[in-house]
Structure 1
């Protein structure tokens, strides 16, 4: 669930760097096909909605065979995860090397609040894709590499809590895409953000 055991003398940034998912290494033609598929999928999803688009439609729009598409991405959830990968890396880079309070240099409570705010921005922008990637199979959310990164970062900011690892999981549970999608129409974005900050203060 939490990835490799990265305890010891490592600083928090080193721990988080280990948990980052590196960009795929591939031949030039494979990289072109991948880019074509992701561009086609992004366009179709934006125009028709994630649920309404089939893998056949993505393959046709990208000009690749269905077999190639399924071998490369597995299913639509795998395609969603691949589309999110570059977006996640932007947020991870800001956490690791960006200016405070999201990046290093601010007190832990401020960094945690900034992370929650930035993650909600990311989540709301890509909610259907995140929801699909997290709910494709039971427990899929916890097997996504990015989740291990988010969890470790939050646990580091909650280092003063009695059980930082559990507190981080509990706080991130409130950010599950399925949960947010269900509550957003009732609570609205402002109440959602305010409630997350209260949870963070309670966890710390």
Structure 2
């Protein structure tokens, strides 16, 4: 398998904006927690429609400039709200039990990854869609980790595959905005979406080593 620039073992990369400092002063950390707690409270009480920079500032009792300086825009705020769940997801596919985690054939891990993404979208599509509206999506640590993970699996399946292109193509069909459209406008159930992803994966595997095709039902 060709070498790629994968994250070091047991490193978790959060969803937040790429220029976020790694270490924060105690007062800055407190302010961040206050803003995120206020945003989470709005989500619980009003849903995604109630989430705005103005609403968070009011709930936290701070000026709106403070919210913008901390998160940049509403997309950055949404990414920050997803940090903890993103780290948990990373832990599952990097270190968890097979088939999602190490120990299963690459094709089985890839299928488990795609299915797990659909489960996440079923639970989190609205806030993921909100996060995707910003310009920083492709620069976030989470996007890079997911892209590298998919590239690793694809190259293990077949080094001749265009792993970089296919990884980004798969991520594109797992977006929150597309999922909301599929469910709300097209009436697609999660199992139908998973079946469609299986069909995409079969197409990839047919062009690779025959031994890998046996991982799909």
TM over 0.5: yes
Q: Which residue of 1 aligns with 2:213?
A: none
1:172 aligned residue: 171
Query: 5+ unaligned residues in a row in structure 2: which ranges?
Result: 206-217
Report the Cα offset of residue 39 of structure 1: 1.2
Q: How does 1:18-167 map to 2 (within 5 A)?
A: 20-21=13-14, 24-137=22-135, 140-159=136-155, 160=158, 162-167=161-166
| 8 Å contact from structure 1 (residues 127, 177) kept in 2 | yes
Q: Give unmatched runs, 5+ long, in structure 1.
A: 1-6
RMSD across aligned positions (CA): 2.4
Indicate the structure whose relative CO is greater, using CA pairs within 8 Å and at least 6 residues apart. 2
Q: Residue deviations 1:131-185, cap 9 Å, x none?
A: 1111224xx4322321111111111111115211111112222112211111123
Which aligned runs of 4 or more in structure 1 are off by greater than 6 angstroms? none
Structure showing greater Rg = 2
Give the TM-score normalised by structure 2: 0.80
How far did residue 98 of structure 1 move?
1.3
Check 1:71–1:96 CA distance in 2 against 1; reply closer, same or farther (3 A cut).
Answer: same
Give, in whole Å, the separation in 2 of the partners of 1:196 and 1:85: 26
Instruction: Determine the C-alpha separation between the residues in 1 that align with 2:121 and 2:141.
Output: 16
Question: TM-score, normalised to structure 1's length?
Answer: 0.84
Instruction: Report the CA distance between 1:63 and its aligned residue.
Output: 2.8
Provide the rounded CA distance (Å) in 1 between the counterparts of 2:109 and 2:193: 18
Partner of 1:191: 192
C-alpha separation between the residues in 2 aligned to 1:166 and 1:109?
Answer: 17
- Mapped pair 1:203 → 2:215: no
- Structure 1 residue 88: deviation in Å? 0.7
The answer as to whether partners of 2:10 and 2:95 remain within 8 angstroms in 1 is no
What is the CA–CA distance in structure 1 between the aligned matches of 2:4 and 2:121, rounded to whole Å?
33
The 8 Å contact of residues 113 and 197 in structure 1, kept in 2 or not, is answered as yes
The number of equivalent residue pairs is: 194
